C-alpha cells in the first residue's frame, strides 16, 4: 500500500526496519514494479538503493523496466489523444463562430 501511494518516508522506515522487498502484493507485483508502473521515480531509486532487483519479474513475467515503458507509452498515447480531441473541439468552436458571423451577414 505504501508503494501505491508513494509514501517514501514510510517505505524508508520499513526498509530500515528490515522489510523485505521481495514480497508480492495480491496482484503479484513487487514494490519496485509498483513504483515503476506508477511513475514514482524517486521511490524506485530508493528501493533500488536498498537492494530491489531490477530484473525481478512479476507474475506476468514483466520487469519493472518493462512496466515503466508501458506506463510511459500509455501516458504518451493518451496525451496525444487528449491533445487531438482538444484541437478538434477548438476547431468546432471556431466553425460555430464562423457560422454565427455568416448568419449575421445574411441578416443584414
pLDDT band at 1 (very low <50, low <70, confident <90, very high): very low
Q: Quick count: other Cβ atoms within 10 Å of Cβ 11? A: 22
pLDDT band at 28 (very low <50, low <70, confident <90, very high): confident
Q: Please choose, from the candidates 65, 88, 69, 87, the residue with its C-alpha nearest in 3D space to the C-alpha of residue 77.
A: 69
pLDDT score of 7: 65
**Domains in the chain with CATH codes:** 8-107 (1.25.40.20)
pTM, entire model: 0.58
Amino acid at each position: 500500500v505504501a508503494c501505491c501511494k508513494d509514501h517514501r518516508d514510510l517505505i524508508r522506515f520499513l526498509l530500515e526496519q528490515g522489510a523485505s522487498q521481495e514480497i508480492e502484493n495480491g496482484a503479484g507485483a513487487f514494490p519496485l514494479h509498483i513504483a515503476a508502473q506508477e511513475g514514482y521515480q524517486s521511490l524506485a531509486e530508493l528501493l533500488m538503493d536498498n537492494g530491489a532487483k531490477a530484473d525481478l519479474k512479476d507474475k506476468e513475467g514483466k520487469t519493472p523496466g518493462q512496466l515503466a515503458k508501458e506506463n510511459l507509452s500509455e501516458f504518451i498515447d493518451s496525451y496525444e489523444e487528449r491533445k487531438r480531441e482538444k484541437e478538434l473541439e477548438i476547431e468546432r468552436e471556431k466553425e460555430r463562430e464562423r457560422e454565427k458571423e455568416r448568419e449575421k451577414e445574411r441578416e443584414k
